Amino acid sequence: MAEVLVFHHGHGLTTGVREFAERLRRAGHTVHAPDLYEGHVFDSLEEGIGYGRSVGFDTIAARGTAAAEQLPAELVHVGFSLGVMSAQRLAQTRPGAKGALLLEACVPVSEFGDVWPQDVPVQVHGMDADPFFAGEGDVDAARALVETAADAELFLYPGDRHLFTDSSLPSYDEQAAQQVNDRVLAFLDRVK
């Protein structure tokens, strides 16, 4: 089974992110879900991003790196929205990564190096009309990643919700989230 490192989104380590991690555990995977917000969970994304800004996004990123350093290199890195920054950076730059699952965000590969590592499979999931994912260029970065990486997939779901995979938020879309979960579990079974 795979060993997985899950990075939460801008609301913090919500019940929905914890449930996602638990679902992977029930499937037999070893899952780590560090709390990069140190216990703070926010009702609104604006409040959560404001907290991240006040602490410093470099500090948040350093917490993600510190969490990874305590674990074996052979990880699948998973990020939800804001957490994609840590997951993608580690998948691209930390030798030994087994894969990356980028949920509801993707940054240009050039942010963390010249190319995506050819031996690191990646999936990107997002809604086709999400104002953040589709409207701020993440979907374009995901398409470019799929064009250049050896093993990359982009899955677009109909809708305009951001954080549609978090069952504890009003933006949750059960049908789309179930498709994501099925694809994530198939990915983890393949890369273990």
Confidence check: pLDDT of 57 > 80: yes
What percentage of the chain reaches a pLDDT higher than 90? 98
Confidence check: pLDDT of 192 > 80: no
At 114 the pLDDT is 85
Give the pLDDT mean for 35-41.
96
Helices (H) and strands (E) in the chain, counts: 6, 6
Average pLDDT over the chain reads 96
At 190 the pLDDT is 93
Give the pLDDT mean for 47-53.
95
How confident is the model over 64-117, as pLDDT tens digits?
999 999 999 999 999 999 999 999 999 999 999 999 999 999 999 999 988 999
At 24 the pLDDT is 98
How confident is the model over 166-176, as pLDDT tens digits?
999 999 999 99
Confidence check: pLDDT of 9 > 80: yes
CATH 3.40.50.1820 fits 3-191, yes or no: yes
CB 169 within 8 A of CB 163: yes
Question: Strand 76-80's sheet: what is its strand order?
Answer: 30-32, 3-7, 76-80, 99-103, 122-127, 152-157
Half-sphere exposure of 66 toward its Cβ, with a 13 Å CA cutoff? 9
Amino acid at 185: L
Distance, in Å, from the CA atom of 54 to the CA atom of 65, rounded to the nearest integer, reads 19
- pTM score: 0.96
Distance, in Å, from the CA atom of 111 to the CA atom of 103, rounded to the nearest integer, reads 17
